[in-house]
Amino acid sequence: MKNNKLIAEFMGLENVGTLNNPMFEYGENGGCRSLEDLHYNTSWDWLMPVIDKCYQEHMSKHIAQAVMTCDINKAYQVVVEFINEYNKNK
């Protein structure tokens, strides 16, 4: 769940909850989702916009290779590593 929070913040979702119960505004209708309802680690529909943003920030050969494996777990892990590195260098 920690990594989904990291991704949500990278994607610019606002945490409108508390420290112990984060809730992220999601979608145009202003709905909120808990960490359990963020599906970056299980859905390509959720992960692909993150991958696109990573590419906009910096073309990453590692992310491209992970996506080409069609293994969402591998792609998710590489995205998390990219975001952690990106955050260190900001």
Question: What is the tally of structural domains in the chain?
Answer: 1
Largest Cα–Cα distance in the chain? 37
CA gap 18, 76 in Å, rounded: 25
CA gap 15, 38 in Å, rounded: 12
CA gap 54, 35 in Å, rounded: 21
Q: Phi first, then psi: what are they for 48, rounded to 5°? A: -60, -40
Closest by CA position to 37, among listed 53, 26, 50, 51: 26
Q: What percent of the chain has pLDDT over 70?
A: 96
The confidence score (pLDDT) of residue 80 equals 95
**Is residue 58 within 8 Å of 86, Cβ to Cβ?**
yes
This prediction has a pTM of 0.84
CA gap 24, 8 in Å, rounded: 8
For residue 39, what are the domain limits? Answer: 2-89
pLDDT per position in the chain (90 positions), as tens? 789 999 999 999 888 887 788 889 877 677 888 888 999 999 999 999 999 998 877 767 778 888 888 999 999 999 999 999 999 987
Tell me what the pLDDT averaged over the chain comes to.
87
